[in-house]
Structure 1
Amino acid sequence: MAIKHWPKQQRPREKLLSQGAKALSDAELLAIFLRTGIPGLDAVGLAQHLLERFGSLRGVLSAPLERFCQELGLGEAKFVQLQACIEMSRRYLEQEMQDLSVLDSADAARNYLSMELSGQQREVFAILLLDNQHRVVQFAPLFYGTIDAASVYPRVVVQRVLEVNAAAVILAHNHPSGVAEPSQADRHLTDRLINALALIDVRVLDHIVVGHGETVSFAERGWI
C-alpha cells in the first residue's frame, strides 16, 4: 500500500508535523529525505532496506559516493542532497555554539564534536578554543593517528592556544572502534595537557571522547 493510503497519523511527514522529528524512527526520517520508493518498496520500505544494507543510519550518512550510488533508489543527486543536509547541521551547531557560552550550550558542543569526529576512520585529536566568555573561537583538529592511537604533543596544543589568545579549551578525540569509554592513556594525556595549559593560565573545561552514537565527558565523570 502506498504511503498516501496509510492512516494519516502513521505517515512520516504528518507524524513529524504533529509529534516532532524526535518521534520518528530512523527509517521514517530517511524516508522523508528519499521522498519516493522504488518498484515493490514504498519510501519507508526502501529506507528500512537501506538501513539494513548499510548497517545503520550512520552507515548511510557516512557512505562514500561510489558505495552510496550502488543502491537502487540512490544516486549522485541524493548523495549531494544528503551531504548538504549534513553540512547544514554542522554549521547550525557551530553557529549555536558561537552565539552562546559553551557552558550554556553543552549539548550543542557535544553534538558538534560528535558530528565532526564520529565519522573518522582513524583517531583524531582536536580542541575547541574558547574566549574569556567561553564562546567558541575555533575548532582545531591537531593530530591524526592510526586506527587506534594518536600522538599528541602538549607543546603544539599550547602554541595553537597562544596563536588565537584562547582563554579556555575543550579537548576532544574519537575512538574509531566506536566505544567511547576513555582509556588510562586518555586520562594521563588529559592530566598532562591540563598541567601544560595551566602554565599559561588557560583552563581545560572538559575532554569529550566520541564513539559511535555516544560520547563521554571527563567533566561529568568528575575527572576535571
Structure 2
Amino acid sequence: MTTTAEFPSLMLRDVHADERPRERLIRQGVQSLSNQELIAILLRTGTKKESVLTIANRVLKEFEKIHELKHATFEEIVSIRGIGEAKAAQLLAAIELGRRLAQKQVDSRFTIRSPQDAATFLIPEMSSLQQEHFVVLFLNVKNQVLHKQTIFIGSLNSSIVHPREIYREAVKRSAASIICAHNHPSGVPSPSPEDIDVTKRIQEAGFIMGIDLIDHIIIGDHQFISLKEKGYM
C-alpha cells in the first residue's frame, strides 16, 4: 500500500481516492494517519502549485518535532509558505482544543495522594510554558482539587509572592490544604535558594492560618522535583 506520507510532493489527484487522508480516516480510523496527514486534513486544501500534503510536510519541517507546534504563534504559522491567515487560525484552534481536552482529563476532582499525582495534574499544561508561572492547587479534606489558580507570572521572587494572596484564596475556597507549583522554562527543575525561601515563607504562613502547605512542585521539561521529598519542607 502506498501512503501519502511516503510521497509528500504528490498532489492529491495523483493519489488513489482510498489512500487520501480523509478517506483513510473514515475507513481505518484517525489513529492510522501520520502527523503529516492529520495536519493536511486540518489545512483542507493546498495551492495551485502545491498539494496540501506538501504544505503539511513543510509545517512539520518548520517545527521539527510535532510537540513543538504547541508553542507556535500565529505569526510563525502564517509565515510558512502556502499557509494564509485562515489556515493558520485552523491549526491554532486545533492545537488549543487538544491542549484543553488534555487538561480537562485531569481536572475533574482529581485526587492528589503523592507528588507524582500533583505532577501528573500539572505537567500537561506547565511543562510547555515559556515563562515562569506560580500556580496553587487548593484541596479539600479528601485531597481533591477544588481549584487551580495562577498567582503570578514571572521570575520567582520572595518580594512578589505574598502568602496573603495565596491564603486569601484558600479561605475563599474553604480549602483544607494547598500545593504550590512553578515551572522552570529552562527545563531543569532543580530548586534555587529563592525557591526554597519562598516555600518556607508560605509554609510558615500556613501554620498560622491552619491551612497546610503539602508540597511545592517544581516542573521542568516533563520532569519534576518535590521540595518535600527533597527535605526542604
> Aligned residues: percent identity?
30
8 A contact 2:46–2:82 mirrored in 1: yes
**Superposition pairs for residues 27-38 of structure 1, below 5 Å?**
30=39, 33-34=42-43
- Tell me the equivalent position of 2:94: 85
Is 1:76 the counterpart of 2:56 in the alignment?
no
Question: 1:140-191 CA deviation, whole Å, 9 max, x = no partner?
Answer: 1112225xx4432222222221222211222111222233333232233223
Mean CA deviation greater in 179-188 or 131-140: 179-188
* Cα 1:217–1:26 shift into 2, 3 Å: farther
Question: 1:112-137 CA deviation, whole Å, 9 max, x = no partner?
Answer: 53344344433221112122222222
**Structure 2 Cα separation of the partners of residues 196 and 158 of structure 1:** 8
**Structure 1 Cα separation of the partners of residues 35 and 162 of structure 2:** 40
- Tell me the equivalent position of 1:64: 73
- Tell me the equivalent position of 1:171: 180
Match of 2:225 among 214, 217, 224: 217
The one-letter amino acid of 2:163's match is: P
**Structure 1 Cα separation of the partners of residues 219 and 34 of structure 2:** 23
Task: Count matched residues.
Answer: 218
C-alpha deviation, 1:28, in angstroms:
6.7
The one-letter amino acid of 2:133's match is: V
**Structure 2 Cα separation of the partners of residues 25 and 99 of structure 1:** 31
Is 1:122 the counterpart of 2:131 in the alignment?
yes
The one-letter amino acid of 1:215's match is: Q
**Structure 2 Cα separation of the partners of residues 19 and 220 of structure 1:** 45
> Under a length normalisation based on structure 2, what TM-score does the superposition of the two structures give?
0.67
**Structure 2 Cα separation of the partners of residues 66 and 204 of structure 1:** 41
**Structure 2 Cα separation of the partners of residues 87 and 108 of structure 1:** 24
Q: Secondary structure at the match of 2:188?
A: coil
**Superposition pairs for residues 13-162 of structure 1, below 5 Å?**
30=39, 33-34=42-43, 43=53, 46-103=55-112, 110=119, 113-146=122-155, 149-150=156-157, 151-162=160-171
Match of 2:193 among 161, 184, 187: 184
Q: Secondary structure at the match of 2:88?
A: helix
Larger C-alpha radius of gyration, 1 or 2? 2
Match of 1:201 among 198, 202, 210: 210
8 A contact 1:207–1:219 mirrored in 2: yes
* Cα 1:166–1:27 shift into 2, 3 Å: farther
* Cα 1:91–1:60 shift into 2, 3 Å: closer
* Cα 1:27–1:94 shift into 2, 3 Å: same
**Structure 2 Cα separation of the partners of residues 100 and 168 of structure 1:** 15
> Under a length normalisation based on structure 1, what TM-score does the superposition of the two structures give?
0.69
8 A contact 1:208–1:215 mirrored in 2: no
Q: Secondary structure at the match of 1:74?
A: coil
CA RMSD of aligned residues (A): 4.1
